[in-house]
């Protein structure tokens, strides 16, 4: 057994089943593992590594991708012994866009078939949950403040009905709240109501929030918007739409190896589009940690 596909059947309804079945002709020794609840993909990925699978594919959205990567990392030597592939079936599929994968699943399957790989960086988060120290990886993006609060406010029904627009609506709702985050690095600190930390370039789709970032530069890329007002939010949207975020928006940006996020109030940290923990948290980078199948 060489390939294990871990997929979320709810990512595209019943289509996920037929799409993943298309892999059978390419990987005849492929094993499919369906997720039934949040967090299960991580457990299944760890089992796949322990069972000796050499290629593990996440079929779903960015949340499924994150869970599978963390499951691989839960096993000592997991990142060294496996190749990781993505079959994008989610709402936005930011990491798949970062890799340049075809948006149509059939094209992504062809990429998996060829099996070309490169080694990329991973973000790593250290935090405390219920009194115990925890660690979790992120592959594309972390965010705190307005960003993570909007994710918290998105309902599953609205997300399925409106897709990415559901996050925009939730963001407008979150505008009425103030959740300042302190970002500390090398003895200095800045404060902001929206903090984004990228491993790659893209945020929320094909919006280049970190145009200078690459998945192999060994750095985190930090964007801090000090205060979220309606004029500044419009400037951010214009920046994303034109690909010139920092020309329109007076955000602080820097590229450290690690940062610490704290807040005096309750603020959640999201990783790859899923809220994971409350601050404080320390974020760092693991250079060239993951072998990924790419076009």
Cα–Cα distance for residue pair 245/260, rounded to 1 Å = 24
pLDDT score for 103? 84
Q: Which domains does the chain have, with CATH numbers?
A: 3-115 (3.40.50.10330), 124-287 (2.60.200.40)
Average pLDDT on 62-90 reads 95
pLDDT at residue number 109? 85
Banded model confidence at residue 211, pLDDT cuts 50, 70, 90: confident
pLDDT of residue 38: 81
Tens-place pLDDT, residues 14-54: 555 566 666 666 666 788 888 888 889 999 999 999 999 99
pLDDT, greater one: 245 or 128: 128
Q: What is the pLDDT of residue 207?
A: 78
Predicted TM-score of the model (pTM): 0.87
The tens digit of pLDDT for each residue in 119-140 reads 999 999 999 998 999 999 999 9
154 pLDDT band, cuts 50/70/90, is: low
Which pLDDT belongs to residue 167?
A: 59
Report the C-alpha gap between 111 and 101 in whole angstroms: 8
């Amino acid at each position: 057994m060489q390939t294990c596909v871990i997929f979320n059947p709810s990512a595209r309804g019943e289509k996920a089943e037929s799409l993943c079945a298309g892999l059978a002709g390419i990987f005849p020794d492929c094993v499919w593992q369906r997720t039934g609840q949040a967090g299960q993909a991580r457990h299944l990925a760890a089992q796949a590594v322990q069972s000796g699978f050499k290629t593990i594919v996440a079929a779903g959205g960015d949340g499924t991708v994150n869970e599978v990567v963390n499951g691989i990392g839960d096993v000592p030597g997991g990142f060294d012994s496996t190749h990781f592939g993505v079959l994008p079936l989610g709402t936005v599929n930011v990491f798949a866009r970062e890799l340049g994968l075809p948006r149509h699943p059939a094209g992504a399957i062809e990429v998996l078939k060829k099996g070309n790989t490169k080694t990329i960086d991973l973000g790593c988060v250290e935090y405390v949950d219920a009194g115990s120290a925890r660690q979790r990886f992120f592959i594309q993006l972390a965010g705190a403040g307005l960003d993570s609060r909007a994710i918290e406010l998105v309902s599953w029904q609205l997300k399925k009905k409106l897709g990415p627009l559901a996050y925009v609506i939730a963001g407008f709702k979150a505008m009425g709240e103030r959740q300042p985050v302190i970002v500390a690095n090398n003895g200095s600190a800045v404060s902001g109501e929206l903090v984004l930390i990228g491993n790659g370039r893209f945020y929320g789709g094909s919006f280049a929030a970190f145009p200078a970032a690459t998945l192999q530069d060994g750095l985190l890329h930090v964007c801090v918007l000090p205060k979220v007002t309606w004029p500044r939010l419009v400037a951010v949207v214009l920046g994303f739409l034109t690909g010139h975020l920092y020309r329109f928006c007076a955000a602080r940006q820097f590229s450290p190896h690690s940062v610490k996020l704290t807040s005096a109030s309750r603020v959640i940290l999201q990783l790859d589009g899923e809220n994971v923990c409350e601050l404080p948290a320390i974020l760092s980078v693991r250079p060239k940690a993951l072998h990924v199948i790419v076009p």
